[in-house]
């Protein structure tokens, strides 16, 4: 069932038309780690990805799901494809930060980005708890958000993937504070090059994909995600991963933020902290955090509103493009 939005109905009709006529599907990447790119996939590739996800997530004709991601994104359109292949009931609504706010039907499967999960947990917790399978993707999960879900006995399935791989290639169930490694879907194998993940998916892609994701590879089917190589900060010759610093700051900061490198004459780069909202004085005991000297933020900046993608991911590069060096202030 589709919402009353004419635009949404047209998008669903376009999908069904392309599916019936076996036309290619085009997707744009989010641009959260660089300039958006366009990727083209054939229907047989869509089928391959959909079947792999259906098997891994144990979806079947008894599944009922809500699509609340943009249908122009891989995450949204693959929800349509999975329902089409598995033959289950599907509700389709416009993407909002609170997809369950006005949704009263019974479902057992939903795919969300972290922002939607966070808002649903705060405002629509009971409805969220009634859903058996909650698939999370699109951006890393904050430690505090994971703990909040566990406190409410909400289990999550976190996905790893990208537009280039036509949705997720690995999943992990989050049901305890001790995070398990990501596990490859059937037929997918991993290796590393310069500590970055390489994905081999012969059933879908002719050539392996070299990512910029720094990982700890446990074996060809399992890895632990550490951060992005293109976000890495080199300060005084020491490589620092912003994502690891962000995990440690999550419990102290209650507004959107991210960590990045700031040019510095002496050290090459130093760690900078960018927060969304109006400038305030932060009362943080930096010395009490488990941060090495190189990891401690040296510069701080407030921005009224971050630039976000259609799936609500913070577009770091675009957000940083408007910043002048003199806008930073020392901590």
222 occurs within a structural domain = no
Which of 154, 186, 218 is a domain's end point? 186
Question: What's the pLDDT score for residue 34?
Answer: 54
193 occurs within a structural domain = no
In which domain, by residue range, is 258 found? 232-330
7-25 pLDDT, tens digit per residue, is: 899 999 999 999 999 999 9
Residues 28 and 94 reside in one and the same domain: yes
> What is the C-alpha separation between 222 and 191, in angstroms, rounded?
10
> What is the C-alpha separation between 217 and 34, in angstroms, rounded?
25
204 occurs within a structural domain = no
216 occurs within a structural domain = no
CATH code at position 28: 3.40.50.12780
Residues 171 and 268 reside in one and the same domain: no
- Contact call for residues 89 and 63 (beta carbons, < 8 A): yes
200 occurs within a structural domain = no
Residues 12 and 153 reside in one and the same domain: yes
Residue 37 pLDDT grade (very low, low, confident, very high; cuts 50, 70, 90) = confident
**pTM over cut 0.85:** no
Residues 163 and 257 reside in one and the same domain: no
Enter the DSSP assignment of 32: T
Which of 129, 159, 186 is a domain's end point? 186
CATH code at position 316: 3.30.300.30
Residues 36 and 107 reside in one and the same domain: yes
- Contact call for residues 240 and 294 (beta carbons, < 8 A): yes
Q: How many domains does the chain have?
A: 2
Residue 31 above 60 pLDDT? no
Residues 173 and 300 reside in one and the same domain: no
Question: What's the pLDDT score for residue 175?
Answer: 92
Average of pLDDT values for 279-308? 86
Enter the DSSP assignment of 220: T
Residues 159 and 102 reside in one and the same domain: yes
131-158 pLDDT, tens digit per residue, is: 999 999 988 888 888 989 999 999 999 9
Give the strand pairing for 89-92 and 109-112: unpaired
Residue 36 pLDDT grade (very low, low, confident, very high; cuts 50, 70, 90) = low
Edge to edge, the sheet with strand 257-264 lists: 257-264, 268-276, 299-303, 329-330
């Amino acid at each position: 069932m589709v919402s009353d939005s004419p635009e949404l109905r047209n998008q669903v009709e376009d999908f069904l038309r392309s599916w019936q006529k076996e036309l290619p599907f085009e997707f744009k990447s989010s641009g959260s780690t660089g300039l958006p790119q366009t990727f083209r996939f054939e229907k047989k590739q869509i089928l391959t990805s959909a079947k792999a996800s259906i098997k891994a997530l144990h979806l079947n004709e008894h599944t009922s799901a809500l699509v609340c991601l943009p249908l122009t994104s891989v995450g949204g359109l693959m929800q349509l494809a999975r329902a089409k292949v598995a033959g289950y009931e599907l509700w389709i609504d416009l993407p909002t930060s609170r997809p369950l706010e006005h949704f009263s039907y019974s479902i057992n499967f939903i795919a969300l980005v972290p922002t939607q999960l966070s808002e649903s947990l705060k405002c629509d917790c009971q409805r969220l708890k009634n859903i058996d399978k909650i698939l999370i993707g699109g951006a890393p999960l904050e430690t505090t958000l994971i703990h909040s879900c566990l406190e409410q006995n909400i289990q999550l399935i976190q996905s790893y993937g990208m537009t280039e791989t036509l949705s997720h290639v690995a999943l992990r169930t989050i049901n305890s504070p001790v995070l398990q490694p990501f596990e490859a879907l059937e037929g997918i194998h991993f290796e590393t090059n310069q500590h970055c993940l390489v994905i081999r998916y012969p059933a879908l892609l002719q050539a392996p994909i070299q990512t910029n994701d720094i990982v700890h590879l446990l074996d060809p089917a399992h890895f632990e995600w550490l951060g992005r190589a293109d976000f890495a900060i080199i300060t005084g010759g020491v490589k620092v991963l912003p994502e690891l610093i962000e995990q440690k700051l999550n419990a102290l900061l209650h507004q959107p933020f991210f960590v990045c490198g700031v040019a510095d004459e002496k050290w090459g780069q130093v760690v900078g902290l960018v927060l969304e909202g109006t400038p305030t004085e932060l009362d943080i005991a930096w010395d009490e955090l488990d941060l090495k000297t190189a990891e401690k933020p040296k510069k701080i900046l407030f921005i009224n509103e971050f630039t976000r993608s259609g799936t609500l991911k913070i577009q770091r590069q675009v957000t940083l493009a408007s910043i002048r060096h003199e806008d930073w202030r020392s901590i």
